[in-house]
Structure 1
Amino acid sequence: MSDASFAATYHLGQYQPAVEAEINSLNSQDFTNRFWHKDATLWTQNAEAQQSIRSFMGWLDSPEVLSKAVADIKHFVQEVKAAGFQHVVVMGMGGSTMAPIVFQRSFRQGQGDLPLSILDTTDPGTVAELEAELPLRHTLFIVASKSGTTAEPLAFGDYFYDKMKAIKSDKAGENFVAITDPGSKFVTQATQEGYRKIFLNFAEVGGRFSALTYFGLVPAALYGINIGALLHGAVEMMHACGSQGPVADNPGLKLGAAMGVLAKQGRDKLTLITPENLGSLGLWLEQLLAESTGKEGKGILPVAGEPLGRPDEYGADRVFVYVGYDEFKDQASLDKLTALEQAGHPVIIIRLSEPMDLGREFYRWEIGTAVAGIVLGINPFDQPNVQAAKTATDKLMKEVTEKGQLPSPGQPAASQDGISYYGDVTGQDAAGVLQAFFQQAQPGNFMTLQAYLHETDALNKDLAEFRQLVQDKLRIATTSGYGPRFLHSTGQYHKGGPNNGLFVQFTADHPQDLPLPGRTYTFGTFENAQAQGDLQALRDNGRRALHIHLGPQPEQALQTVLTALKAALAHLG
């Protein structure tokens, strides 16, 4: 089963007849015409849900609509360069920053183009590190928030606006750009503060479907990417997916039907393999798939960053998707994928010829995700459980404002070497608590590491080792993410998807904290409140969660946790 025009090959083995039957069934129901006419009955018979679906399908024609805005965006880029700007920082969360991260890490920067940084964490160490690297007077800050009410980008904007006021007084706004929806409160603030430019996006495009709108394209153009060519590829994929009428071989339908059918048959862990220079695609896909499908106890869990292993290291809950470049053969991975396919695991291989093909791939996956929602019988455009963590955090921040500090997390199940372990399990020491926690693992479960920490290479290495140890011993899927980034992506799946996760949350002290202008709390307190609120939301949804507070030196402490983990896993059968 292949898709020659857009370089995708499907090795589905025993699942192929079911996938083909699903495609034929949808086509017999006039799928293409109904889909492109935004017929919400494809997804649900509930009238209220149908209205919600129709109101969030503006992304369908965004490549064509935004093609008309390319000249204006390019003119803006020229204006910014002429004004002497030397650096761009995109500040947002979730859908506002995932595509810019992919662009920044996947494309080589050309001479004369502006370096691009992305800020999507409230961690004070990360904010301070970024600030120290920037030529502040010559930095353009993009505050990206669809709703205009998202707490994190507003906090980032206020922090750096305060810094810029100290440098440029009433001209501070010249260094700021807003990307938001029409009518959001943020438009008023940005206007009052004299922002250089306000890009009004489209209310009918949800954040995770916004890669090919102003949220993705403005940073891409500033970074030097040919956004006209990027959109051209997306328009070609639109046509291939039936935007001009029914087609014989629809790449988006094929991907979505495969993902949906495989998930319904228990293959709900979509394991993504990429070469290193496409690794950031996993961050974008995590949000798109997990937030779109993880609800009503159903969902597809994207698994990125796991080293590819032998067939006997995996359960029957996996589907493997390789996304790579034509000229990069990566034979070691392809050989392992062949072995996995021969062992009965479904394998999908997608090839790109160059980074510019990401435009078409973004679009293929958006269609595929929408189609998977049809197969699973869920609304892929809402995020009912994301609000839970926000509400819990807001309640905690109110308490901070009134009492000056966060409430106590309670008594730890164990404290050892300055590290505290909080959970519903008991043990004599750290290893005992970890053993009791992981004893709960069952086939088909997954573990996710939620790191509310300052990202460093050392921590990344240790988190990867933690995952590897658990995967090797328990044969379950593992994922990892930095908070609060994942709250706006996989956080929906964590609370609304199948209740088969083991959640390990890491927090730390903030000896180098930063105040937030106009607020009674700091970045560090905000981050800790988000962690506590997230933990509360997980527990309110009956999830198995272990909170490990690493203290003032998280890198050293995580090494100690790894030692305890090895002892714990050694005692499991």
Structure 2
Amino acid sequence: MTSLTVTAAGAAADAVTGHVPSLVTDAVASRIFARDATLWGPDAQEEAGKRLSWVGLPRSSRHLVGEVAALREELREQGVDRVVLCGMGGSSLAPEVICATAGVPLVVLDSSHPDQVRAAAVDLGRTVVVVSSKSGSTVETDSQRRIFEQAFSDAGIDPAQRIVVVTDPGSPLEQDARSKGQRVVNADPDVGGRYSALTAFGLVPSGLAGVDIEVLLDDAESVADLLAEDDEANPALRLGAAMGGTDPLRDKIYLVDHGTTARGLGDWAEQLIAESTGKQGKGLLPVVLRSPGHSAPPADATIVRLVPDDGDESAPGAASTVDVGGSLGAQFLLWETATSVAGRLLGINPFDQPDVESAKQAARDLMSGDGAAATSTDASDGAVTIAHHGGDWLGGATTLDGAVEALLGQLDPEHGYVAVMAYLDREADTPFAEVADALAERVQRPVTFGWGPRFLHSTGQYHKGGPATGVYIQVTDVPQQDLPVPGRDFTLGEFIDAQSGGDARVLADQGRPVLVLHLTDHDAGLAQVTDALRGTRG
């Protein structure tokens, strides 16, 4: 029997005491699992009515176990043992944590950066590509698929034998894939992307990579009745209350790896919480701490410690702390339920993402020439050009250090946060993410780090729809070599430029300050930016 533990202290414990009894009285848990779309108010009812099938996935996804195992065996007999996943947001983050936790290799391609895409298109003789897109119209995923189709063909390999498509029934992607003879696995259309860990989106790539997905479903099913119970001991009600019910609201949720075996769980929870709650000027900002030992989180934060599966013997801290333990499959269902509970307490619809589309449209406008002119440069400093959006806050700064200081001068010292958004090659530039911790020490406020464009499908919703308390640092570069998209009139380099420019424009339209740092020489420029954000430039 899989166990879940949720132990709260301080303000989080007060929130549990204050809200869980009424959640029980209102039968919130049982109504979620009965798919009651009225729980989040009349404005959310239509969307919620199409997004609640995730509660039954531990049972309804069982048919995938045998189907995926058979396909994996077929591919292994052909010497195909390398899995590349093309997917964005929830379509890639769940398989990434599933495979990392199981110690199984999976190449996650969740970028439109030409260098990262090119680096994934290797070892084709032993590669199967899973193309995952719920809508079937995600431009990044469509572009990746086209590039792999061309690469397989150039290598003398039939793409139909090496591409597996996961999508909703009837999507444009399904229709095109079937017309080409590619394998298609349909996902449940009544599950949103960030709640899709236990659908085909999470299970197909993970199972093909070698994970025992039946165990994952078993763990989730073993806690489903517990999470559906209207009882004050229900861990989902306790976690949801601790996140969304503090008074005053501690709207920063620090996610700390405190011994959990679920590798990367914080990154998956980050997109679930941010995209679900960040709207209507409200929301919870998840902050994934890379180094748990740095300075204490601020007064508007709750610390969530991700502890080992069987809990943690050490007591949670005093201020506002929650310890969460359990196996990965059980935690998927726990966090999804708790986030929907937090949404009810916050008074928002946890199933829509209205501001994700705004950045997509801005990127499309730039690609078509309908958008405003490209970003104008304010100054250059070494291998970095400097531009700003969202107000007249730069103050005439002409150096990199001066521009960073000017942006940080806009930071609310009590409620603000800094978002670093790196439109770089995530695989090659992994160490750059460590700058978030140093910057947090410097400003004594929360700092989030997102790789572009993947964050646009998750935390990007919070940036634009949540409280207007953020300041934003966007880092872009020139790819080593651009990559044309077969059958399209644009390159990946042009596309990622449009994505970064579109996102900056949407943020600026809402008066949110954005500093754009463009690396004209990648290595030298990235070193400059790293030092400037750390505050260590000599």
The alignment's TM-score, normalised by the length of structure 2, stands at 0.93
Give yes or no for contact 2:6–2:239 (8 Å, CA) kept in 1.
no
- State yes or no: 1:292 paired with 2:292: no
Equivalent of 2:323 in 338, 342, 349:
349
Q: Distance in 1 between matches of 2:2 and 2:87?
A: 35
Q: Residues 406-437 of structure 1: CA distance to partner in whole angstroms, max 9, x if unpaired?
A: 9431131x211131111141314222222111
Instruction: Say if 1:92 and 1:67 are closer, same or farther in 2 by CA, change over 3 A.
Output: same
Aligned amino acid, residue 252 of structure 2: K
Equivalent of 1:273 in 256, 263, 281:
256
Instruction: Say if 1:462 and 1:188 are closer, same or farther in 2 by CA, change over 3 A.
Output: closer
Give yes or no for contact 2:254–2:288 (8 Å, CA) kept in 1.
yes
Q: Residues 26-61 of structure 1: CA distance to partner in whole angstroms, max 9, x if unpaired?
A: 211232333222222221133xx2111111111110
Give yes or no for contact 2:5–2:324 (8 Å, CA) kept in 1.
yes
Q: Residues 140-196 of structure 1: CA distance to partner in whole angstroms, max 9, x if unpaired?
A: 111100000111111000001011122336x3211111100011011111012110x
Matches within 5 A, 1:121-160: 121-131=111-121, 134-160=122-148
Instruction: Report how far residue 137 of structure 1 moved.
Output: 2.9
> What are structure 1's unaligned runs of at least 5 residues?
110-114
Instruction: Report how far residue 281 of structure 1 moved.
Output: 1.4
Corresponding residue pairs, total = 531
Equivalent of 2:106 in 111, 116, 122:
116
Aligned amino acid, residue 130 of structure 1: A
Instruction: Report how far residue 209 of structure 1 moved.
Output: 0.4
Which secondary structure state, in structure 1, belongs to the residue aligned with residue 30 of structure 2? helix
Name 1:112's counterpart in structure 2: none
Q: Distance in 2 between matches of 1:471 and 1:95?
A: 27
Instruction: Report how far residue 461 of structure 1 moved.
Output: 3.1
- State yes or no: 1:369 paired with 2:346: no
Q: Residues 308-342 of structure 1: CA distance to partner in whole angstroms, max 9, x if unpaired?
A: 2466x43211111111325998x9xx6xx85xx24
Instruction: Report how far residue 279 of structure 1 moved.
Output: 4.5
Give yes or no for contact 1:269–1:318 (8 Å, CA) kept in 2.
yes
Aligned amino acid, residue 271 of structure 1: Y
Q: Distance in 2 between matches of 1:328 and 1:318?
A: 22
Instruction: Report how far residue 249 of structure 1 moved.
Output: 2.2
Instruction: Report how far residue 98 of structure 1 moved.
Output: 0.6
Give yes or no for contact 1:159–1:516 (8 Å, CA) kept in 2.
yes
Name 2:424's counterpart in structure 1: 453
Q: Which has the higher helix share?
A: 1
Name 1:217's counterpart in structure 2: 203
Give yes or no for contact 2:57–2:199 (8 Å, CA) kept in 1.
yes
RMSD of aligned residue pairs (Cα, Å): 2.5
Q: Residues 345-372 of structure 1: CA distance to partner in whole angstroms, max 9, x if unpaired?
A: 21111234xxxx2001111000001111
Which secondary structure state, in structure 2, belongs to the residue aligned with residue 97 of structure 1? helix
Which secondary structure state, in structure 2, belongs to the residue aligned with residue 511 of structure 1? coil
- State yes or no: 1:29 paired with 2:16: no
Instruction: Say if 1:220 and 1:411 are closer, same or farther in 2 by CA, change over 3 A.
Output: closer
Instruction: Report how far residue 569 of structure 1 moved.
Output: 10
Q: Distance in 2 between matches of 1:297 and 1:497?
A: 4
Equivalent of 1:438 in 394, 405, 408:
408
Name 1:6's counterpart in structure 2: 3
Which secondary structure state, in structure 2, belongs to the residue aligned with residue 198 of structure 1? strand
Q: Distance in 2 between matches of 1:569 and 1:502?
A: 21
Matches within 5 A, 1:376-415: 376-399=346-369, 407-412=373-378, 414-415=379-380
Matches within 5 A, 1:160-559: 160-168=148-156, 171-195=158-182, 197-242=183-228, 246-247=230-231, 249-262=233-246, 265-274=248-257, 275=259, 278-309=262-293, 313-325=296-308, 341-342=317-318, 345-352=319-326, 357-399=327-369, 407-412=373-378, 414-423=379-388, 424=392, 425-426=394-395, 427-442=397-412, 443-456=414-427, 459-465=429-435, 467-553=436-522, 555-559=523-527
Instruction: Say if 1:207 and 1:462 are closer, same or farther in 2 by CA, change over 3 A.
Output: closer
Q: Distance in 2 between matches of 1:94 and 1:167?
A: 30
Aligned amino acid, residue 545 of structure 1: V
Give yes or no for contact 1:306–1:478 (8 Å, CA) kept in 2.
no
Aligned amino acid, residue 302 of structure 1: P
Instruction: Report how far residue 251 of structure 1 moved.
Output: 1.4
Instruction: Say if 1:137 and 1:325 are closer, same or farther in 2 by CA, change over 3 A.
Output: same
- State yes or no: 1:19 paired with 2:16: yes
Identity %, equivalent residues: 35
Give yes or no for contact 2:287–2:447 (8 Å, CA) kept in 1.
yes
Name 1:44's counterpart in structure 2: 41
Q: Distance in 2 between matches of 1:489 and 1:61?
A: 23
Instruction: Report how far residue 502 of structure 1 moved.
Output: 1.0
Q: Residues 276-334 of structure 1: CA distance to partner in whole angstroms, max 9, x if unpaired?
A: 964521221111000000001111111113422466x43211111111325998x9xx6
Give yes or no for contact 1:421–1:548 (8 Å, CA) kept in 2.
yes
Q: Distance in 1 between matches of 2:524 and 2:167?
A: 41
Instruction: Say if 1:433 and 1:219 are closer, same or farther in 2 by CA, change over 3 A.
Output: same
Which secondary structure state, in structure 1, belongs to the residue aligned with residue 405 of structure 2? helix
Instruction: Report how far residue 399 of structure 1 moved.
Output: 2.2
Instruction: Report how far residue 202 of structure 1 moved.
Output: 1.1
Give yes or no for contact 2:482–2:492 (8 Å, CA) kept in 1.
yes
Give yes or no for contact 1:86–1:135 (8 Å, CA) kept in 2.
no
Instruction: Report how far residue 102 of structure 1 moved.
Output: 0.6
Aligned amino acid, residue 449 of structure 1: V
Which secondary structure state, in structure 2, belongs to the residue aligned with residue 298 of structure 1? coil
Q: Distance in 1 between matches of 2:422 and 2:294?
A: 28
Give yes or no for contact 2:4–2:330 (8 Å, CA) kept in 1.
no
Aligned amino acid, residue 417 of structure 1: G
Aligned amino acid, residue 168 of structure 2: D
> What are structure 2's unaligned runs of at least 5 residues?
none
- State yes or no: 1:560 paired with 2:510: no
Q: Distance in 2 between matches of 1:298 and 1:368?
A: 17
Instruction: Say if 1:564 and 1:178 are closer, same or farther in 2 by CA, change over 3 A.
Output: closer
Q: Distance in 2 between matches of 1:501 and 1:552?
A: 28
Aligned amino acid, residue 120 of structure 2: L
Aligned amino acid, residue 93 of structure 1: M
Which secondary structure state, in structure 1, belongs to the residue aligned with residue 71 of structure 2? helix
Instruction: Say if 1:54 and 1:218 are closer, same or farther in 2 by CA, change over 3 A.
Output: same
Q: Distance in 1 between matches of 2:294 and 2:109?
A: 37
Aligned amino acid, residue 76 of structure 1: L
Give yes or no for contact 1:511–1:552 (8 Å, CA) kept in 2.
no
Instruction: Say if 1:537 and 1:255 are closer, same or farther in 2 by CA, change over 3 A.
Output: same
Give yes or no for contact 1:293–1:493 (8 Å, CA) kept in 2.
yes
Instruction: Report how far residue 455 of structure 1 moved.
Output: 2.4
Equivalent of 2:80 in 80, 85, 92:
85
Aligned amino acid, residue 320 of structure 2: P
